[in-house]
Chains A and B, each alone.
Chain A
Amino acid sequence: MKRGQKSYDGVSLCSPITIPYQRFSSETAHWWAGTALKELSSKTGLKPKDFDGLIFSSFSSSPDTVVGIVQHLGLTPKWMDHIPTGGASGVMAIRRAARAVQAGDASIVACVAADTNQIDSFQKTLENFSRFSQDATYPYGQGGPNATFAIMTDNYMRKFNLTREEFGKIAISQRKNALSNPFALMKKPLSMKQYMDAKPIADPIHLFDCVMPCAGAEAFIVTTPAIAEKLNLSTVKIRGTIERHNAFSEDPIQYRGGWAEDIDDLWQSSNCSPDDMNFAQVYDDYPLIVTMQLKDLGFCAKGDVKQFINKTDFTISGNLPLNTNGGQLSAGQAGAAGGYQNVTEALRQSIKQPLGDQIPKSSKGLISGFGMVNYDRGVCTGAVIIEADEIR
């Protein structure tokens, strides 16, 4: 039943938008989504009626889904989708919108992720996250995702002989990258000593392994090259993609994700290899997840993961620029927008319109998503290989 992936010809990704994050916001997810659309409109000249496709992701828009957003914000799309997969939602939005555009079901798809962070939003999201977490995770100390990822990290460190220093290197490199991003919530450099001495949250996870929940919105447009040209928008092409949910469910504790199952499909369909990547923007709710993605996607195939982390420079000027906006670890986690910021940053670097420093060479890159700890592990995974196209 295995079939090859069809190409993404005739699809352009453009107009990455990031609405500056706020630690707390009294506004709603609807307000943040509207702000993102307003920004998309002012950058492109497109009006509500011009968007014939909409994808929406949010944790805090309840009780509204994309349906509520469409009416609330006055859109009349002929195609829409709600993607409730958090950290995997950006990658999935690309895949869905691209195929809709290719098939002619829609021509201009706005992909929007928006979340507010009112004082009690995070608590509410945790309490109502999923049935399994209500029954079998949340009542166990209620460490939130920290405790679940702590157990995964504990297991991973023993399995692959890692120490906290390797995770520290990732956090510190991303902080370095964040310093040039004016929107990043973290503004100060991070030293290994600060990382190691940080407050314990859930062993072995300490403060700087955790993201800071915040409010924000991210958006981009998926359309055809012809429309992008007419609108005078810079474009990025899709080389190949993968998506997988609930992979390796037989592993007692998660140490790999769906990427490991579909890695060959990703690189074959993209006709390139990890060595060709000028950058990687991977989901980073915890340094462990960054490590897991890079390993599963083949970046440390030749050596062990410890060696790979130690010998790689993840900063913007390094040999594998990683999460060049600082990622969620340093820029903040704006709910579902956290699953989009890897996409928008990748697009910005590709079209050379970065928020902060520009990666010297940025023609090909990897975007990877990871979402939804429904119970004891992240369920949703996906990845996209992109290539810079027209810069206008």
Chain B
Amino acid sequence: MANKRIELEQYKHYVDLLEEEPNRKTWRRGVLISLITAMVLVLAMLVMGMLSNSLAINPSNILQKPPAKSTSTPSQDTAVPSTNQIPTNQVPTNQLPNQSKAYNSPLAMSKALGVPLGADDGALIAQTTSTQPTVTVPSQTSQATTSNTKKSTGPGTQTKGVGNLSNLASGASGRGFQISLLILSLCILVLLYLPIRKARLEGKSK
């Protein structure tokens, strides 16, 4: 009897497992549900990241000052928003054409206004708040220098080098951000697969 007790003490873990077998089964199911849901979360983040590539490439997007609330409404005849959505890395520094000008195609309008094709009202791209028909957009370098001189109008400094997301996003022919997200997602999926596999193997061995 004493020997049996010692044996049970030594193999306490297994005794506990036997006692908790029904709970372990439920536990395994819970682990599977939770971790598969986590995988779905990872995939959702990956898809949303893929959709955000154009934003990630724009170096001024992350630290851009949000535009103040505007009460003006979009022009009815051209359907151009009053707050022009202008990514600074795509727009030349010359003046934009008059908004009342009719454009032959959406692509032409997109190029002329610097708005990415397909971007609708409220799209998450860099914005300026000018309500003037002609807008002069500063280049990236000039913006960086002005941000140092006019500290009250925006973020202190831009991130540089590896700290800047747009550097990564601009790499690999503009696919850097997407590739990095893909690699990271695969790593997490593998990491989540390991406990799932372990739980399933434990279930099969019972």
A in complex with B = no
Binding site for A on B (CB under 8 A): none
Binding site for B on A (CB under 8 A): none
